[in-house]
A and B are shown apart, each in its own frame.
Chain A
Amino acid sequence: MNSIEPFNRLVKLAARAFYDDVSMKGDNQPKTSRGDNRGMAVVVLDALTRRPWVREEDLAKALKLHSKQLRRILRFFEEEKLVTRDHRKESAKNAKAHNAAAANDGQTVAKEGEEKVKMHTHSYCCLDYAQICDVVRYRIHRMKKKLKDELDSRNTIQHYICPSCNKRYSAFDALQLVSYTDEYFHCETCNGELVAEDDKLASEEMGDGDDNVRKRRREKLKDMQQRIEEQLKPLVAQLDRVKNLPAPEFGSLQTWERAHIGAFAIGDPAAADSSRNSQGQYGTPMPYLGQTKVEVDILSDGEKEGAESGKDGSELKVIPPWMIKDGMNLTKEQRGEKIESQKLEKSEAKDDKKQDLKDDQSVQEEYIKAYYEALRKKQEEEEAKNRMQQEGKISVPDSQTERQVGKKYKRDDDDDEDIEWEEHQPTAAGNATETYKLADLNAEAQESGDDEDDNVWEEG
């Protein structure tokens, strides 16, 4: 990407020059000190210089602004032609986060949510650098022209005065004043030769022809002109610097996403998430996963557990190190540590972790073992049963195992809630919240996918 810095500097200069005192107050909001958000426009523009296409909700969060307030500002900048916005319907960011939110209603609801994808309109925005250059240049041009026109008393109606009888005429009377004997206008009453009132000073509402008022006004205009030159000097210089540089171009939201999310395909966050999780180990095509998904739902939790236990922890969702922050409530598997029983992590273990009591660790481990044994047994039973059921359909055992692998993937990616649900339903509410937290974490991870791009982009 060609250097974006000069353009960002231009945006920042323009923001401070023109939008510093833009107040985005609501229609009926009195201008109290609290409601006074002047300068907010500058903050928003600055923030946008650090991001390409950004979801407006994310931006609002990052700026600690109410999204309504931000939208008002962005709409203003859209009108000012500084910002491009795009709106599109999306499946509730990903079905997952949504499911988690709805998880309290039980698994069936969660599944339902997955099937009929809920569409929400999300708005994205980014700076339109090429247009910004034009807009700023045009704005400066208009400012200067307006002052110059006023100084030159352009667009003003000429006035004439009869030196002998002091009668005044305007150019509208010209037809009656024309003399066919000479080149001048003549007074209607005394036929004296009219003289033009001093053009330059005639600019104002004639008033009583108070020379001082006009003079002062003229001085004011000149002064304003001078100050424009002076104060906009850095901005103009920056415009010149940028003039021959190709403006950074993000393209439309779709193009940009295709270019930047690339591997994660179509910019669908859910897809991005899943491909990240599977770490490319199994390039299982999505349709296959989809198939398994159905089956997972049919199968009991025990079956799933079996599939997991058959493999090791590398299958579990690993949160990349850059996403792990202090205060995050992570399970070991999420930190990338291997733990044999995913189940345990997701259930009781989580509670323990939350409490952060190391003393409990050993007790917990014992408990886990016991629990795990029980589950495994159950799962084996299930598996046997299941195999009997499936025997008719699938005769080759290999395909069966393969399918289990795929299944597991699937579950890791999208069905965490399902598993938890089945297992936790009877347990205390604490678990439910834990589940929720985990799902939240996922949602955050998906969103920070964008952030990651931001960072890369910013440094580049």
Chain B
Amino acid sequence: MFFHIVLERNMQLHPRHFGPHLRDKLVSKLIKDVEGTCSGRHGFVVAITGVEDIGKGLIREGTGYVTFPVKYQCVVFRPFKGEILEAVVTMVNKMGFFAEAGPVQIFVSNHLIPDDMEFQSGDVPNYTTSDGSVKIQKESEVRLKIIGTRVDATEIFCIGTIKDDFLGVISDPGAAV
């Protein structure tokens, strides 16, 4: 799920950037530092949408660096248990398959794949129904439901299932070719 929230961060800036473009430098550094990171609490920072406030800088003794408290708005993505996501399959093996939804990695173990789909090894390992009408392989797009999330300080990993109504392949790269 996406959220638009306000976060705060203390930025350290080297004295050589002090000048008329201090603020710009601060913002571009913020974007570089923060976008794409993940916090266990808020999820992945997808994009910074604005800077609300830059506080007074504090010179750090000895180094000359200055610390600015920066308040910024950003879009974060935080997966939840029970959430339905669309994801792209990245790897298929006998134990199941991995998929990605943006920055989130999801693993779907083989017991959460419908029973009528069988693993086929080969150049392009895949799960296929007995009549061959549905195939999950690398690059397939699937709709899955998250049944568990592991949130670390810097990482979120999800377990998904496609063994439920309206879940499974939504576009088959093999069919398009």
Q: Which residues of A contact B (CB under 8 A)?
A: 152-158, 160, 171-172, 174-175, 178, 183-185, 194, 196, 199
Q: Which residues of A contact B125 (CB under 8 A)?
A: 183
Q: Which residues of B contact A156 (CB under 8 A)?
A: 147
Q: Which residues of B contact A199 (CB under 8 A)?
A: 111
Q: How many A-B residue pairs have CB under 8 A?
A: 58
Q: A171-B109, A183-B93, A183-B95 are in contact. List 15 more A-B contacts (CB 8 A).
A: A154-B112, A157-B148, A157-B159, A158-B96, A158-B112, A171-B96, A171-B148, A171-B159, A172-B159, A174-B96, A174-B98, A174-B107, A174-B109, A175-B105, A196-B111
Q: Which residues of A contact B95 (CB under 8 A)?
A: 160, 174, 183-185, 194, 196
Q: Which residues of B contact A152 (CB under 8 A)?
A: 163
Q: Which residues of A contact B121 (CB under 8 A)?
A: 183
Q: Are A171 and B107 in contact (CB under 8 A)?
A: yes
Q: Are A178 and B157 in contact (CB under 8 A)?
A: no
B161 sits at the interface (CB 8 A): yes
**B76-92, CB < 8 A from A:** 91
Q: Output the nearest chain A residue to B95 by Cβ-Cβ distance.
A: A185
Q: Output the nearest chain A residue to B158 by Cβ-Cβ distance.
A: A172
Q: Output the nearest chain B residue to A159 by Cβ-Cβ distance.
A: B109
Between-chain CB contacts (< 8 Å), 13 pairs: A154-B164, A157-B148, A158-B110, A158-B111, A171-B96, A171-B109, A172-B157, A174-B98, A174-B107, A183-B94, A184-B94, A196-B95, A196-B111
Q: Are B91 and A158 in contact (CB under 8 A)?
A: no
Interface size on B, residues (CB 8 A): 23
B150 sits at the interface (CB 8 A): yes
B144-164: contact bitstring with A at CB < 8 Å (1 yes, 0 no)?
A: 000110100000010101011
Q: Output the nearest chain A residue to B111 by Cβ-Cβ distance.
A: A199
Q: Output the nearest chain B residue to A185 by Cβ-Cβ distance.
A: B95
Q: Majority SS of interface residues in chain B?
A: strand
Q: Which residues of B contact A (CB under 8 A)?
A: 91, 93-96, 98, 105, 107, 109-112, 119, 121, 125, 147-148, 150, 157, 159, 161, 163-164
**Cα(A154)–Cα(B144), bound, Å:** 13
**Cα(A185)–Cα(B121), bound, Å:** 15
Q: Are A184 and B111 in contact (CB under 8 A)?
A: no
Q: Which residues of A contact B150 (CB under 8 A)?
A: 172
Known contacts A171-B159, A174-B98, A175-B157; decide if A155 and B147 are in contact (CB<8 Å): yes
Q: Which residues of A contact B94 (CB under 8 A)?
A: 183-184
**Cα(A196)–Cα(B95), bound, Å:** 8
Q: Output the nearest chain A residue to B109 by Cβ-Cβ distance.
A: A158
Q: Output the nearest chain B residue to A174 by Cβ-Cβ distance.
A: B107
Partner of A178, one of B93, B111, B112: B93
Q: Which residues of B contact A175 (CB under 8 A)?
A: 98, 105, 107, 157
Which of the listed residues A172, A174, A185, A199 has the most CB atoms from chain B within 10 Å of its own CB? A174
Q: Which residues of B contact A153 (CB under 8 A)?
A: 111
**Cα(A185)–Cα(B159), bound, Å:** 16
**Cα(A174)–Cα(B112), bound, Å:** 14
Q: Output the nearest chain B residue to A154 by Cβ-Cβ distance.
A: B163
**Cα(A152)–Cα(B112), bound, Å:** 10
Q: Output the nearest chain B residue to A153 by Cβ-Cβ distance.
A: B111
Partner of A157, one of B91, B110, B119, B147: B147
**Cα(A154)–Cα(B148), bound, Å:** 12
Q: Which residues of A contact B98 (CB under 8 A)?
A: 174-175, 178
